[in-house]
Amino acid sequence: MIGQVTERATAMWDDGARWDEILETLRAEGFSKVDCIRATVEILRLPLADAKRIVHDSRAWADRRKNDEQFHDVLEAEFRAEASGG
């Protein structure tokens, strides 16, 4: 799957598409948020944290933002509780 997403995104990037357009197309074609993050790292040569932020804040994934942030907050709270012995 990563080869497919990278290949598709690269072709669009080479044709002059903007990154937000690429993310929207990838999602419409069934690629996951993780696929989009990986393609962002690979093609734009960005650190993972920057790629995650770009994809998370994109129009393509705006409808998932609130749920993803809630999931992250719950997960972080669980890890902190476990680390503190709770």
pLDDT tens column, 20-43: 999 999 999 999 999 999 999 999
pTM of the model: 0.83
pLDDT for position 4: 93
Q: Which domain holds residue 17?
A: 2-61
Q: How far is CA 73 from CA 27, 32, 79, in A?
A: 24, 21, 10
User: HSE (CB half, 13 Å, CA atoms) of 51?
Assistant: 17
86 lies in a domain? no
Which pLDDT band, with edges at 50, 70 and 90, does 3 fall under?
confident
Q: Are 9 and 22 in contact (CB under 8 A)?
A: yes
24 lies in a domain? yes
Q: pLDDT above 90 covers what percent of the chain?
A: 88
